[in-house]
């Protein structure tokens, strides 16, 4: 079972399918809106943001999974695709941003300009900018050009992006949405376990 | 001489269901027995008194195009039944009973009493229909044909004492039926209030129906407040208590986050919510899948009627 899963997850095609499939769900309201959906574009906007957060949390979990269970084939398989999945998170984030622009369109961009200056939107924009920088430096050529150490340091900004995304998601609602905990909670637990394990190893 | 040209929505008297038939509807459903129970439990109708309603032509601006019934009854902020706007429709129709329903009039009044919601509607002289703009603090809007009676009628009936300066509205509390009330998102029960002159204003309304049908549970059955020049959260739903008090109360959202929600909550395009602009609004049900926006009007388009209530007040401070 685990071996089959590992084999599947090693294939790039599987990862592509898993990354693209949620887009169908996210964009569906725009192509065949539910008659009881009062604001289909808003539904798409929320779906895209939700997927962006989930993909980002998932890709960041790959490393701690491998550190905690180094011999687990599935964790090894997943870690082959870190950059691809990371770029996937950016793709959803930029689609989410595009939906924001369309949603605030009032015949011009006056509403958009006012909205983007609000703190929760600036926080989301910060996460998007980080993901953008990480995406354009995700090619092998960029790693060679920057040098492995500098590249790694730059790409640690992904954790900052995740923190900003969680904050953005929580602050976008009138009351705290529990989904933030479901999405980023497991990642936080894995990270704490990983740091703890690495520290113990260093102490020995 | 005043000649009133009937509009296309003004149905002739002959089209109305005879009152005797209408009044017997419940008895009829009861006699249906099990079949009747199955019928009503799916779409529980709480306050059936006062229907069919008469359209009040003074509150039927032909320029306002009412939002589709399906959308009005599917897109709801009713945190007692979940924080997603699609939550209340299913969750408020899983056995939550809005009939019979008792409302309590209490506080600084000469006529305190507890009364059945249907009896109250009959006491108020039945229901009338008014088409109002509805603007949510989240920057979206609808146009809703409400059925009900003016709040001022109820206040006159309650007969407030001179020291009563504010009217407060308490929503039901029943965590067993309302899953949202099992969490602590808001200090339940939901609580709202109006200044006496606001409450006495002719636009302030108690709704018991939408589109000539008894109000669905998810929209605040059997009785809810409608104050069209204020943001939607001022319009407390499923009211069980109307209390007349001397001091300005703190409403639920103000208690939760006073920097974002004030007591007045008048629709005002020039005063932004800290997290989004109020200058424009999404028009629900218009513009296809991508939707559309319109400019938000001062006092939600009721400036001529209500601006006097706030003469000399700093609306930036009193948001």
Chain A environment of B71 (Cβ under 8 Å): 36, 38
Asked if B316 is an interface residue toward chain A (Cβ–Cβ < 8 A), one would say no
A41 and B279 within 8 Å at the Cβ level: the answer is no
pTM of the complete model: 0.85
Asked if B312 is an interface residue toward chain A (Cβ–Cβ < 8 A), one would say no
A173 and B293 within 8 Å at the Cβ level: the answer is no
Angle at A108 between CA A106 and CA A113, to 5 degrees: 90
Q: How far is CA B137 from CA A27, B69, B71, B227, B260, in A?
A: 26, 21, 18, 13, 10
Minimal Cβ distance to B70: which of A35, A118, A175: A35
What residue of B is the nearest CA neighbor of A34? Answer: B289
What residue of A is the nearest CA neighbor of B67? Answer: A38
Asked if B259 is an interface residue toward chain A (Cβ–Cβ < 8 A), one would say no
Minimal Cβ distance to B70: which of A36, A105, A120: A36
Q: Which residues contact B21 (CB under 8 A, 6 or more apart)?
A: none
As for the ipTM of the complex, it is: 0.85
B279 and A174 within 8 Å at the Cβ level: the answer is no
What residue of B is the nearest CA neighbor of A176? Answer: B185
Q: Which two tokens stand for residue B274?
A: 């800290």
Please report, in tens digits, the pLDDT of each residue of chain B (319 residues total).
Answer: 566 665 555 555 555 555 555 555 554 444 444 444 444 444 455 678 889 999 999 999 999 999 999 999 999 999 999 999 999 999 999 999 999 999 999 999 999 999 999 999 999 999 999 999 999 999 999 999 999 999 999 999 999 999 999 999 999 999 999 999 998 889 999 999 999 999 999 999 999 999 999 999 999 999 999 999 999 999 999 999 999 999 999 999 999 999 899 999 999 999 999 889 999 999 999 998 899 999 999 999 999 999 999 999 999 999 9
Which of B255, B272, B275 to mutate to test binding with chain A, by most A CBs within 10 Å of its CB?
B275
Q: Number of Cβ pairs closer than 8 Å across A and B?
A: 74
- Return the H-helix or E-strand segment holding B37: helix B34-42
Closest CA of chain B from A41, distance in Å: 5
CA atoms of B319 and B312, how far apart (whole Å): 14
B70 and A102 within 8 Å at the Cβ level: the answer is no
> Over the stretch A48-106, which tens digit does the pLDDT of each residue have?
999 999 999 999 999 999 999 999 999 999 999 999 999 999 999 999 999 999 999 99
pLDDT recorded at residue B3: 65
Chain A environment of B85 (Cβ under 8 Å): 38
B277 and A111 within 8 Å at the Cβ level: the answer is yes
Closest by CA to B155, choosing from B110, B116, B115, is: B110
Backbone angles phi, psi at A179, to 5 degrees: -60, -25
Asked if B83 is an interface residue toward chain A (Cβ–Cβ < 8 A), one would say yes
CA atoms of A68 and A195, how far apart (whole Å): 10
A114 and B279 within 8 Å at the Cβ level: the answer is yes
For residue A35, pLDDT over 50 is answered with yes
> Over the stretch B97-137, which tens digit does the pLDDT of each residue have?
999 999 999 999 999 999 999 999 999 999 999 999 999 99
């Amino acid at each position: 079972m685990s071996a089959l899963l590992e084999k599947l997850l090693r294939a790039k095609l599987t990862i592509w399918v898993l990354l693209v499939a949620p887009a169908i769900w996210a964009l569906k309201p725009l192509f065949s809106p539910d008659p009881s959906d009062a604001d289909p574009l808003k539904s798409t906007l929320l779906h895209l943001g939700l997927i962006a957060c989930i993909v980002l949390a998932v890709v960041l979990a790959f490393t701690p999974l491998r550190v905690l269970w180094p011999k687990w084939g599935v964790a090894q398989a997943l870690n082959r695709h870190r950059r691809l999945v990371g770029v996937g998170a950016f793709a959803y984030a930029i689609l989410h941003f595009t939906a924001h622009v369309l949603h605030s369109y009032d015949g011009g961009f006056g509403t958009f300009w006012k909205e983007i200056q609000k703190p929760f939107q600036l926080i989301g924009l910060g996460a998007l900018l980080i993901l953008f920088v990480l995406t354009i430096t995700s090619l092998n050529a960029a790693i060679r050009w920057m040098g492995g150490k500098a590249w790694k340091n730059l790409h640690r900004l992904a954790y900052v992006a995740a923190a900003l995304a969680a904050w953005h998601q929580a602050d976008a609602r009138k009351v705290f949405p529990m989904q933030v905990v479901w999405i980023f909670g497991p990642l936080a637990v894995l990270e704490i376990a990983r740091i703890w394990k690495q520290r113990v190893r260093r102490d020995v | 001489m005043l000649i009133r040209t009937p509009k296309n929505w003004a149905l002739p008297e002959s089209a109305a269901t005879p009152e005797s038939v209408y009044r017997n509807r419940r008895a009829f459903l009861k006699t249906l027995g099990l079949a009747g129970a199955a019928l009503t439990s799916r779409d529980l109708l709480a306050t059936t008194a006062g229907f069919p309603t008469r359209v009040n032509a003074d509150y039927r601006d032909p320029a306002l195009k009412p939002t589709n019934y399906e959308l009005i009854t599917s897109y709801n902020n009713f945190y007692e039944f979940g924080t997603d706007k699609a939550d209340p429709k299913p969750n408020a129709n899983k056995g939550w009973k809005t009939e019979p329903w008792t409302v309590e009039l209490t506080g600084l009044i000469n006529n305190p009493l507890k009364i059945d919601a249907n009896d109250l509607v009959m006491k108020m002289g039945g229901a009338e229909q008014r088409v109002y703009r509805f603007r949510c603090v989240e920057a979206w809007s609808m146009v809703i044909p409400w059925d009900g009676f003016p709040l001022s009628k109820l206040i006159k009936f309650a007969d407030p004492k001179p020291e009563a300066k504010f009217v407060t509205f308490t929503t039901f509390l029943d965590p067993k039926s309302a899953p949202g009330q099992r969490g602590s998102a808001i200090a339940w029960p939901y609580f709202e209030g109006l200044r006496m002159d606001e409450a006495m204003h002719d636009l302030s309304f108690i709704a018991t129906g939408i589109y000539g049908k008894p109000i669905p549970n998810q929209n605040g059955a059997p009785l809810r407040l409608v104050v069209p020049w204020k943001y939607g959260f001022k319009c407390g739903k499923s009211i069980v208590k109307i209390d007349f008090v001397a001091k300005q109360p703190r409403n639920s959202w103000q208690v939760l986050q006073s920097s974002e929600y004030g007591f007045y909550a008048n629709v005002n395009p020039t005063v932004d919510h800290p997290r989004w602009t109020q200058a424009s609004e999404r028009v629900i049900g218009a513009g296809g899948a991508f939707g559309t926006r319109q400019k938000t009007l001062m006092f939600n388009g009721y400036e001529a009627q209500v601006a006097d209530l706030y003469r000399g007040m700093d609306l930036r401070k009193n948001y």
